[in-house]
Structure 1
Amino acid sequence: MIHTIVLDVGETLTKDDRYWASWADWLDVPRHTLSALVGAVVSRGGDSVEALRLVRPGIDVDAEYYAREAAGQGENLDESDLYPDARPALAELLKLGVRLIVAGNQTSRVAELLRDLDLPVHLIVTSGDWGVAKPAPEFYERVLEVARAEPQEIMYVGDHPANDVFPAKEAGLRVAHIRRGPWGHFWADDPAVVEAADWRIDGLRELAEISRPTRPRAG
């Protein structure tokens, strides 16, 4: 039985469209160019930050991040960034008594923005809050600490094989791979992902059925 569900953020709860569009505008390249480069990085299993380095070789991503913040063009997140099924799916899971945690590779600023959305979850944390990022085992150790359940009673939901599926499985968690965003779609049928994932889903509303207690058969 699933006691706790832990959800990734980007391309699980939220769409990354505006995130990449803002980077393209900041770096003064066409949005479709950066999107295509993100796709190329995805196809070879790389980190999305590589796409920024392809646009501007030698870029100091952290320095550019702070420059954007100083220029008033920093991170932003509102209701329009949520996938349409996010809020209703979370509300349904909450009614089932599932403990819900949001934990992804984002800055502390994104954690604040997510908390401002008043999502129906018990806890929102990010790698910026914890000082450790996926796929490091220490990230999943922190997940286990806040989940308040045994590993086999925890489901981690995410789109990224290297950051979500494989390290969560290695930590002993159950895993749901969501076919969403570039990573979710491109790697959905990869044999290693198929083997590692306990569930493969197309949307968050499927989580309620997975988490619903199984009633014993009559007789």
Structure 2
Amino acid sequence: MVRAVVFDVGETLIDETRIWTRWAERLGVPALTFLGVLGGCAALGLQHTDAFAMVRPGLDLDAEEAAWAADDPDGLRSGFDADDLYPDVVPALTALRAAGLRLVIAGNQPPRALAALRAMNLPVDEIRNSAELGVEKPAPAFFAAAAELAGVPPQEIAYVGDRTDNDVLPAADAGMIPVLIRRGPWGYLHARRPEAARAHVVDSLLELPQLLKGLTAA
């Protein structure tokens, strides 16, 4: 029986379209081009950071972010706010909490993303990120930490994310119930991979309350 749900952040809860569009503007690249390169990285099994090297070879990403912060200290820049939540997030979280499930948000995110998420007052029990936990997905220690936050055994936890490699398969290996949400570049592509058969695939978080009834880990 599922007693807790742990959620990834990017493209699970947060629509990253505005983030990548702002990055394209910052780099002087057409938005469609940058978004297309990101999609190519997803298709080729590369990381999103590889997209920066493709469109701006030799770019020092940390230095660019620091310069951007100096230029626009009060802007969102590469961050997000409540306007970037997918429309199904709050209704789904509300329904899951009403069903008595413990809800945790835990993803690979920089420090300031934690404050942004907490400012949204989402109906969840815990919000943590890799910066605070000191470990990133797909490391087993990340999922062990997520299970500790959930407060129940791994086999009673569903982990929801948009990637097979970083999210749902490592979660399954940790004993959790894997749920892949089919949205964002990685989500649509990874849902077509053979290994996605190990996960439950949904197109909306609103499908979770019914899906999770009676589910057990493989």
Superposed pair shares fold, TM > 0.5: yes
Q: Report how far residue 127 of structure 1 moved.
A: 1.0
Distance 2:175 2:213 in 1: 21
Amino acid at match of 2:196: V
Distance 2:54 2:28 in 1: 13
Q: Percent identity?
A: 43
| Residue 208 (structure 1) aligns with | 209
Distance 2:130 2:63 in 1: 18
| Residue 21 (structure 2) aligns with | 21
What is the TM-score with the length of structure 1 in the denominator?
Answer: 0.92
Residue deviations 1:10-39, cap 9 Å, x none? 111110101101111111111111001001
| Residue 81 (structure 1) aligns with | 84
Q: Report how far residue 62 of structure 1 moved.
A: 2.0
User: Unpaired runs of 5+ in structure 2?
Assistant: none
| Residue 192 (structure 2) aligns with | 189
Residue deviations 1:97-121, cap 9 Å, x none? 1000011111110110111010010
| Residue 182 (structure 2) aligns with | 179
Deviates more, 1:26-35 or 1:130-139: 130-139
Among 159, 165, 169, the residue aligned to 1:162: 165
Amino acid at match of 1:10: G
Residue deviations 1:133-166, cap 9 Å, x none? 1112221121121111111100100011111022
Asked if the contact 1:107–1:128 (Cα under 8 Å) also holds between the matched residues in 2, the reply is yes
Q: Report how far residue 212 of structure 1 moved.
A: 3.6
| Residue 4 (structure 2) aligns with | 4
Residue deviations 1:164-218, cap 9 Å, x none? 0221111111100110111111121211121x21x1111001111123469xxxx
Asked if the contact 2:8–2:161 (Cα under 8 Å) also holds between the matched residues in 1, the reply is yes
Asked if the contact 1:103–1:126 (Cα under 8 Å) also holds between the matched residues in 2, the reply is yes
| Residue 38 (structure 2) aligns with | 38
Among 103, 109, 113, the residue aligned to 1:110: 113
Deviates more, 1:71-80 or 1:169-178: 71-80
Asked if the contact 1:42–1:182 (Cα under 8 Å) also holds between the matched residues in 2, the reply is yes
Residue deviations 1:55-85, cap 9 Å, x none? 1112222222222222224343222201110
User: Unpaired runs of 5+ in structure 1?
Assistant: 215-219
Distance 1:50 1:184 in 2: 18
How many residues are aligned here?
212
Amino acid at match of 1:104: G
Distance 2:187 2:79 in 1: 23
Mapping of residues 143-154 of structure 1, within 5 Å = 143-154=146-157
| Residue 64 (structure 2) aligns with | 64
What is the TM-score with the length of structure 2 in the denominator?
Answer: 0.93
Among 120, 125, 138, the residue aligned to 1:135: 138
Distance 1:211 1:165 in 2: 15
Distance 2:210 2:147 in 1: 23
Distance 1:40 1:213 in 2: 37
